[in-house]
Amino acid sequence: MPKIKAINHVAVVVDDMQKSLSFWRDALGIRLHELRDVPAEKSQVAFLPLAGSEVELVLPTTDDSGIAKYLAKRGPGMHHICLEVDDIEGMMTQLKARNIRLINDEPRATADGKKYAFIHPESTGGVLVELYQI
C-alpha cells in the first residue's frame, strides 16, 4: 500500500518575485536555495528550504498558464500543499478507487526525473494537493 512520507513543500503564488523574496528571504531569514524557470509549467520558482521541507514561491511567466489563471482569479497566496509519496502510481490508483478526483490522469515528470500529479480541490475540502515522488 502506498504511503505518504512527508510534507515536501508548500507553494505560494506570487505576483512579484522580488517583493515576495524581500519577505520570505530577507525579513524571515529563510535562505534562497534556487531561483529557476520551469518552462513546462510556464513559471519561475524560488525554492526556500526549511527543516526538511520548503516554501516554493511560484510566479507565472505567461498570461495563459494555469498559475496565471489562478493568480488572476484568486490573487497571490497559498496555492498548494505537496505530499511526498513512496509510490505515486499506487497512490493515484488508490485515490481513483475511492472516487477522488485527480487533475492528472498520469504522473508528470520534472526535468530531473521526479514524478508529480495534482488532486482536485473538490475532493480535498478546497485545498489543491500535489503528490510528489522523488
pLDDT, residue 112, reads 85
Nearest-5° angle of CA 103, CA 108, CA 110?
Answer: 135
pLDDT, residue 40, reads 87
Q: Which architecture does CATH list for 4-133?
A: Roll (3.10)
How far, in Å, CA of 15 to CA of 106, rounded?
A: 29
State the number of CA atoms in the 13 A half-sphere of 17 facing the CB.
Answer: 17
pLDDT, residue 110, reads 87
Measuring CA to CA, which residue among 114, 119, 106 is closest to residue 132?
114
The answer to whether the beta carbons of residues 109 and 103 sit under 8 Å apart is no
User: Which residue carries 497571490 as its cell?
Assistant: 76
Question: Quick check: helix, strand or coil at residue 26?
Answer: helix
Per residue of the chain (134 residues), what is the pLDDT tens digit?
A: 999 999 999 999 999 999 999 999 999 999 999 999 999 899 999 999 999 999 999 999 999 999 999 999 999 999 999 999 999 999 999 999 999 999 999 999 988 899 999 999 999 999 999 999 99
Range list of β-strands (E), 14-128 = 34-38, 43-50, 53-60, 77-85, 108-109, 115-119
**How many residues are present in the chain?**
134
Instruction: List the domain boundaries for the chain.
Output: 4-133
How far, in Å, CA of 57 to CA of 54, rounded?
A: 10
The pTM assigned to this predicted structure is: 0.91
pLDDT, residue 25, reads 98
